[in-house]
Amino acid sequence: MKFQHIIVFAILSAGSFFGCKNQDVVSSESGSTTPASTLVTLTKEQAEFLKAQAKEPTLKEMDLVHTLSGQLISSPSGRTTITAPIAGIVRNVNLVPGMKVRKNQVLFRIEDPNLIQLQEDFLLTKSALTLAAKDRQRQKSLFSEQSTSEKNVEISQKEWEDLMIKKNSLAGKLKLIGLDTQRIQANKLINGLDIVATNDGLLSAIYVHTGKYAPYGEALVEIIDETTPMLKLGALEKDLPYIQIGQRFQATSSVDGNMQVNATISYIVPKFDESGFAEVYAKVEPKGKVLAAGSSWRAEIPIEKSNAHVIPEESVVTFEGNTYVFVEKSALSYEMVQVTLGTKHLGQVALIGPSSLFNQKIVYTGAYGLLMTLKNTGEE
């Protein structure tokens, strides 16, 4: 029976070492069960296989940091939506999302017959205003010679003023849609407008296609300024007192641990949502890196340096949502103790409590093997 027990233990332990090497939570196929005992005693054969090693926590100066999670967003000031300056049919769309564009680059064209009418009205009004100005001046001269009535002077003045108002109104409309009134000529009326990029950036959204009718004011495309990305982070109530505007920190991609950026906290929204998080916004320094909006990031915001009792991260095991370590009671005996942890940094984690563990030996190699042994013992 002893020999069979050793074989079973070896198989289960090997599964633990190779199948759960990078997992934080251990569970069985039928669901996790809390061990009936927190004490595990190994046989010599088990100890030789497991090779558990233990040492006391190290007292050292450690950078205290608060870890926040969030997403990369484009700064509101760096997001531009181009809308239709006129209603019309969209032409020559050769764009795809993600395409880089330059300021004043022609994106496509919108054509509208009513644009010709607007130019015609402007030119006719401008011509009529020229005649009205001459008539106004002539009526003033005649009146000074007492050759016409004051009423005729007033009529010519009103006609001139009415045409001036109409001309300025039409010129304002043309300016709003991007037409220079100085370049409008009777023999060169245009039937459409080129829609150009207002700034350098990335096309994040395209809402039109060739042949589509775009009403006035409808969103056509959206451009993101890649030089102004921001991180939107969530801070719990316990974190908020330690976070200040102007703090610099380093953020790491949740997907690629080698991708890191520096950031500075720009503003904090002092209001907690239903999940208990307050929004913290930070300006990112991309330094030429391609950063995708919506990607997940982890921010480590430094608070201060402080002395702490630290243990290797591999000392910690997670069971049913709680964190534990194994304390060496004797050469072959270990006790699983629930712990409270603090800051993690460079593979080490601060041990907050219980303080009784500060001078006890804690397993740092083979902790998960002990957990599996304890769990299997409880299931027997």
Domain ranges of the chain: 2-62+306-379, 66-76+226-302, 77-112+191-224, 114-183
Name the architecture of domain 2-62+306-379: Beta Barrel (2.40)
Please give the pLDDT value at position 290.
67
On the CB side of 210, CA atoms within 13 Å amount to 8
Name the architecture of domain 66-76+226-302: Beta Barrel (2.40)
Please give the pLDDT value at position 341.
84
Cα dihedral across residues 326, 328, 331, 334: positive or negative: negative
Contact 312, 319 (CB under 8 A): no
Please give the pLDDT value at position 171.
92
Using omega within 30 degrees of 0 as the cis cutoff, is the peptide bond preceding 113 cis? Answer: no
d(CA 152, CA 342): 91
Closest CA to 75 of 269, 266, 299, 288: 266
End-to-end CA distance of the chain: 14
d(CA 358, CA 354): 8
- Whole-model pTM over 0.85: no
Please give the pLDDT value at position 377.
67
**Chain centroid to CA 207:** 22
Please give the pLDDT value at position 62.
74
Contact 280, 265 (CB under 8 A): yes
d(CA 232, CA 263): 11
d(CA 134, CA 129): 9
- For the chain, the C-alpha Rg in angstroms (whole number) is 37
Distances (CA, A) of 157 to 121, 136, 154, 160, 199: 21, 6, 5, 5, 45
**Residues in the chain where the model's pLDDT stays below 70:** 1-36, 63-64, 76, 288-290, 304, 377-380
Tokens of 206: 């395209």
Contact 229, 74 (CB under 8 A): yes
Please give the pLDDT value at position 214.
94
Please give the pLDDT value at position 379.
56
269-290 burial string, b = 16+ CB within 10 Å, else e? eeeeeeeebbbbbbebeeeeee
Name the phi and psi angles at 126, rounded to 5.
-60, -40
Distances (CA, A) of 133 to 75, 130, 136: 51, 5, 5
Please give the pLDDT value at position 376.
77
Tens of pLDDT along 352-379?
889 899 999 999 988 888 988 887 765 5
Q: Mention every residue, 6+ apart, whose C-beta is less than 8 A from residue 138.
A: 156
Write the class of the CATH domain 77-112+191-224. Answer: mainly beta
Please give the pLDDT value at position 145.
85
Alpha-helix runs per DSSP H in the chain: 2-19, 44-50, 114-144, 150-176, 367-379
Cα dihedral across residues 29, 34, 37, 38: positive or negative: positive
